[in-house]
Structure 1
Amino acid sequence: MATAETSPEITADDMPVIATEKPQMDLLRFATAGSVDDGKSTLIGRLLFDSKSIFADQLEAIENTSEARGDDYVDLSLLTDGLRSEREQGITIDVAYRYFATPQRKFIIADTPGHIQYTRNMVTGASTADLGLVLVDARNGLTEQSRRHAVLLSLLRVPHLVLAINKMDLVDWDEEIYNKIHAEFTQFATKLNIPDLEVIPISALQGDNVVNRSENTPWYEGPTLMHHLEHVHVASDRDLVDVRFPVQYVVRPKSDEFHDYRGYAGQVAGGVLKKGDEVIVLPSGMTSRIAGIDLFDKEVDQAFPPMSVTVRLEDDVDVSRGDMIARVNNAPTPSQDIDAMVCWMTNEPLRPRQKLAIKHTTRNGRALVKDIQYRLDINTLHRDQETKELGLNEIGRIQLRTTVPLLVDEYSKNRTTGSFILIDEATGVTVGAGMINSAG
């Protein structure tokens, strides 16, 4: 999603098998969510610790901090709650990205805040996630925040969800409590768009069912959290049918060796690009064929999401940043009228007739807010159609008119070409994140 400006970029090491000469592990991005004190940061610290993904000096530092505070245990949450204000309050405020790997897979974790006033931070962290990890305290069961986080993950079309019932050690590993929360959440999930759900009883503090199976849950026959994260299938979640290649940069080397080289660099947002394919360049409508696909210092036969490549065309057509390469008979229709759900991210409310800058993939323009249709109460799913504005952290359905045609898809179909960000032209600050319902 376009809100992921602060999200870590996929590097060369994260490319799929086809992109390199030797097999590479695939990548799973997942976001954590949950109420305050449910143990999100402790769980992430446990994953980093048990996967041996922290340095000796980091471990020593948190051991010393825990000892100085008089804790009876090593506070692994200190590995992720990096801001001083986070440590003082004992809560997560901003999105913290962490990286680790096992022999099976690489991971990028987005540790997102639980407070409702940080909804915008959670939207940012979860916007590029393949999986959402919602924690609940076994003592408290499902809370309003737990349901809100599940609604947000569903709204953001995160395809896989794990409900981790934490602190099971504090309820004596009671199977009935696990079954009650499992049933309650499963029933709630039927109202949402959650295609894949796994419910796992854990103790983040002690490590039960996190990496190693716990002897305290002989009644639980499902996977450990780490096993599920390593084996959940995400490759089919990407749109491999509709070719979408937003052009980010025109490559024209100035050296004599590559004097005639002209390529178009960007990240594949959908479909599979192959050498020899007939393609169309939008919005100009010019057609050509793919002459070659370059990846670093080598040529590849095909490219697919989320590979970053340079595409060469057989014909010398006019292509620039903001254009999109697609299949001739399967191209998005340029549109200036956008119907979308928007999460508002600033104190000044969003109102009709407001003018903002808009960024969609690599294309920039300006937008006018034509109408606010309703504000969505993410706790009850009630639609307030009487609202005249959207406040900080509120989500609503709006209609926009843009100054330039945008090459969009529905967000449910493609999370990259179906999303955008809104920017305050005076300050340059990102003030809204949008998910496209339709374009007229």
Structure 2
Amino acid sequence: MDILRIATAGSVDDGKSTLIGRLLYETNSITKDKIEALESASKRKGLDFLDLSLLTDGLIAEREQGITIDVAHIYFSTPTRKYIIADTPGHVEYTRNMVTGASNAKVSLILVDARQGVVEQTARHLSIAALLRIPKVIICVNKMDLVQYDEAKFEAIKDSLSSLVAQTTFEGQEISFLPISSLFGQNITQAADKMPWYQGNTLLGELEAFEFAESLAHAPARFPVQWVIRPKTEEYHDYRGYAGKISSGTFQVGDVIKALPTGQESTIASIEKFGEQLDRAVAGDSVVITLTTDVDISRGNSLVLASDTQAPQLKDFAAHICWLDHQALSPGKTYLLQHGVNLTKAKISQITERLDVVAQTSSQDVDSLKLNEIGGIQLRTAQPIMADVYAENPSNGAFILIDEFSNSTVGVGFVK
């Protein structure tokens, strides 16, 4: 079965944790002892219903405040598909958690409180979903029970959301709108009997129907080398294999490849996966590639197809950055840039803009970026990195910035 990665987003108290708890409960993904503990905890709180948010809000501070603070990863499955959900916080000060939690997602669930309608965080999360190029966005208008399941209320919110989506830089991404009540299980896995006016899919139906054909298999071929295998035994005295995970594209036995950054060429002699010989391997496969000739290749180098004339080697480039550190980003400072297994020094030469993700505008006269702010930067690396433009090849277009003294990750970047 394939695995679908999902990220939740929404403002504070929009019901993200309850929604995930409901999905777990109705897909029978909770063990009996957990259900008993949930019933006991709900009774202690004086509730006449199950507090399903307790299934995901695991930190003491989260349970005390009734909010999500850190990203939690939740696993469940149906007969046709496995799911991994990143439950991300809603507070504006946790924007960085939403960016990192959603970085590998194929679907973004953005919740809107039916009583509140579109708020600042809705615009923020839509902008981040667009920036990360998440293929499908499902906007769930939650807590419909608190507006008496009113169709007119849902349609008004949908119209506002449609206007906001039109202002956001979505490119080829699917957008769906669903009325739900996660507390009472309306339109989650079963059709909503309280909303007969809604004829669309349930939330689980949307997730099950979504086809995310792995477009990365058709992207430019990229194979970052993680390890060079030289057994040096009598049986394998001349063996030299290059181990790693194909980040994008397809490699086949007989392909003429080029090693970056040296530019040396050779031909693929074999592709091995857990001892099995393959004719071809695609994005996501962890394999060992051997070549017909000995080439100077080491950890951190990349293999690309020799026919790829646009294979990147970037030293001076522009990027979007989400700043994660309490100390503001200022031009002129040097950081460590990690792209895949490659680590090199990088200097921020200029901050080109600060994005207002709510108003969908940008400011060019900027001298710093603060915690959770998103902006544009120009940077120069000590050594070239083999990165693609993020919009064209997300798997090979992202990087992180690390403070070289504290070793903290201070920024997440996307090559422009």
- Scaled to the shorter chain, the TM-score interval is over 0.9
Please name the residue that 1:231 is paired with: 209
What secondary structure is seen at the aligned counterpart in 2 of 1:342? strand
1:266 corresponds, among 244, 260, 279, to 244
Aligned counterpart for 2:180 among listed residues 195, 202, 219: 202
- The whole-number CA distance in structure 1 between the counterparts of 2:33 and 2:192 is 29
Rounded to whole Å, the distance in 2 between the matches of 1:37 and 1:256 is 64
C-alpha separation in 2, matches of 1:373 and 1:396? 7
Shift in Å, 1:269: 1.3
Does residue 218 (structure 1) correspond to residue 196 (structure 2)? The answer is yes
1:21-420 equivalences under 5 Å are: 25-194=1-170, 195-238=173-216, 240-253=218-231, 256-330=234-308, 331-420=310-399
CA distance in 1, matches of 2:133, 2:229: 34
Q: CA deviation at 1:28?
A: 0.8
Contact 1:157 1:193 in 2 (8 A): no
Q: Is the 8 A contact 1:359 1:365 kept in 2?
A: yes
Q: What is the one-letter code of the residue matched to 1:302?
A: R
Normalised TM-score (structure 2): 0.96
Q: Shift in Å at residue 304 of structure 1? A: 1.4
SS at 1:416 equivalent: helix
CA drift at 1:329: 1.9
Residues 395/279 of structure 1: CA separation in 2 closer, same or farther (3 Å cut): same
How far apart, CA to CA, are the structure 1 residues paired with 2:40 and 2:230? 54
CA contact (8 A) 1:86 1:92 kept: yes
| 2:401 maps to which of 414, 422, 427 | 422
CA distance in 1, matches of 2:17, 2:245: 32
Secondary structure, aligned partner of 1:206:
coil
In 2, Cα distance between equivalents of 1:274 and 1:395: 39
Quick check: 377-386 or 150-159, which moved more? 377-386
Contact 2:217–2:250 at 8 Å: present in 1 too?
A: no
The answer on whether the counterparts of 1:367 and 1:403 sit within 8 Å (CA) in structure 2 is yes
Can you give the 5+ residue segments of structure 1 that lack an aligned partner in the other structure? 1-24
Q: Structure 2: where are the runs of 5+ without partners?
A: none
Q: How far apart in 1 are the matches of 2:4 and 2:216?
A: 12
Whole-Å separation in 2 of the counterparts to 1:251 and 1:174: 63
1:257 is displaced (CA, Å) by 4.5
Displacement of 1:215 after TM fit?
1.7
Tell me how far 1:229 sits from its aligned partner.
0.8
In the TM superposition, residue 253 of structure 1 has moved relative to its aligned partner by 3.1
Please say if residues 159 and 237 of structure 1, whose CA atoms lie closer than 8 Å, have aligned partners that are also in contact. no
- The equivalent residue for 1:3 is none
SS in 2 for 1:227: helix
TM-fit CA distance, 1:297: 2.7
Report percent identity of matched pairs: 47
SS for the counterpart of 2:53 is helix
1:112 & 1:254 partners in 2: Cα distance? 47
TM-score relative to the length of structure 1: 0.91
Letter in 2 for 1:380: A
User: Aligned equivalents of 2:354 and 2:270: distance in 1?
Assistant: 47
Q: Secondary structure at the match of 2:167?
A: coil
